[in-house]
Chain A
Amino acid sequence: MFIQQMINGITLGSTYALTAIGYTMVFGILELVNFSHGTVYMFGAFICLMLMTVLGLNFFLAFGISIVLTGILGIAIDRIALLPLRKRNAPKVTALISTIGVSIFIQNLVMVLWGSETKNFPRVIATKHIQFESFRISHLQVIILATSLILMIGLTFLIKKTKIGKAMRATAQNIHVAKLMGINVDFVISFTFFLGATLATVAGVMVGMYYQSVDPMMGFMAGLKAFSAAVLGGIGILPGAVLGGLLIGVSETIAAGYIHSGYRDAIAFGILIAVLLIKPTGLLGKEVQKKV
Chain B
Amino acid sequence: MNKKITILLSLLLALGLFVTGCGNTNTSVQSSSEVVVAVAAPLTGDYAQYGNAFKMATELKAREINEAGGINGKTLKLAFYDDKNDAKEAANIAQRLVDDKNILGVIGNFSSSASLAAASVYEAGGLVQFSPTSSHSDFTKQGNYMFRNINTQAIEAPMAANMVVNEMGKEKIAVIYINNDWGITAKDNFINAVNDIGGTIIAEESFIGGQTQDFTSILTKINGVKPDVIFVAAFYSETGMIAQQLQQLGYDYPLAGLSALYNEELIKLAGDTVEGLFLTTNFFPSDSDELVNNFLNNFKEAYGQDPDQFAAVAYDTLGMLAKAIEIAGEDRAAIRDELAKIANYEGVTGNTTFNENRDVIKTMRILQIQDGKFKLFK
**Beta-carbon nearest neighbor of A254 in chain B:** B217
> B221 touching A211 by the CB < 8 A rule?
no
> B216 touching A8 by the CB < 8 A rule?
yes
Known A-B contacts A118-B237, A120-B268, A262-B206; A108 and B220 likewise in contact (beta carbons under 8 Å): no
**Beta-carbon nearest neighbor of B214 in chain A:** A12
> B249 touching A9 by the CB < 8 A rule?
no
Known A-B contacts A116-B48, A127-B247, A138-B248; A8 and B220 likewise in contact (beta carbons under 8 Å): yes
| Bound CA span A138–B250, Å | 10
- The answer to the question of B230 belonging to the interface, with a C-beta cut-off of 8 Å to chain A, is no
Contacts of B247 in A (CB 8 A): 127
Contacts of B206 in A (CB 8 A): 261-262
**Neighbour of B220 across the interface among A5, A111, A212, CB < 8 A:** A5
Tell me the minimal C-beta distance from B114 to chain A in angstroms. 16
The total of Cβ contacts below 8 Å across the A-B interface reads: 109
- The answer to the question of A136 belonging to the interface, with a C-beta cut-off of 8 Å to chain B, is yes
Binds B, one of A21-29, A193-201, A215-223, A278-286: A215-223
Within 8 A of B (CB), among A181-238: 207, 211-213, 215-218, 220-222
- The answer to the question of A115 belonging to the interface, with a C-beta cut-off of 8 Å to chain B, is yes
| Bound CA span A252–B205, Å | 14
> A4 touching B49 by the CB < 8 A rule?
no
> B269 touching A257 by the CB < 8 A rule?
no
> B237 touching A111 by the CB < 8 A rule?
no
- The answer to the question of A253 belonging to the interface, with a C-beta cut-off of 8 Å to chain B, is yes
| Bound CA span A129–B218, Å | 20
> B205 touching A261 by the CB < 8 A rule?
yes
Known A-B contacts A111-B45, A262-B206; A213 and B241 likewise in contact (beta carbons under 8 Å): yes
| Bound CA span A142–B46, Å | 32
> A8 touching B217 by the CB < 8 A rule?
yes
> B179 touching A262 by the CB < 8 A rule?
yes
> A118 touching B240 by the CB < 8 A rule?
yes
- The answer to the question of B343 belonging to the interface, with a C-beta cut-off of 8 Å to chain A, is no
> B216 touching A253 by the CB < 8 A rule?
yes
> B248 touching A257 by the CB < 8 A rule?
no
> A117 touching B45 by the CB < 8 A rule?
no
| Bound CA span A189–B217, Å | 39
> A261 touching B44 by the CB < 8 A rule?
no
Tell me the minimal C-beta distance from A204 to chain B in angstroms. 12
> A264 touching B217 by the CB < 8 A rule?
yes
Across the A-B interface, the 10 shortest Cβ-Cβ residue pairs: A118-B237, A8-B216, A256-B217, A116-B48, A253-B217, A221-B211, A117-B49, A257-B217, A261-B205, A120-B269
What are 19 A-to-B residue pairs whose CB atoms are below 8 Å? A1-B221, A1-B224, A4-B220, A4-B249, A5-B220, A12-B214, A115-B48, A116-B44, A116-B46, A118-B236, A131-B250, A213-B213, A213-B241, A216-B46, A256-B221, A257-B218, A260-B205, A261-B206, A265-B211
Known: A111-B48, A117-B48. 18 other contacts (CB 8 A): A1-B223, A115-B49, A116-B44, A116-B45, A117-B49, A118-B237, A118-B240, A120-B271, A127-B248, A138-B248, A213-B213, A213-B237, A215-B237, A221-B210, A257-B221, A262-B179, A264-B212, A265-B211
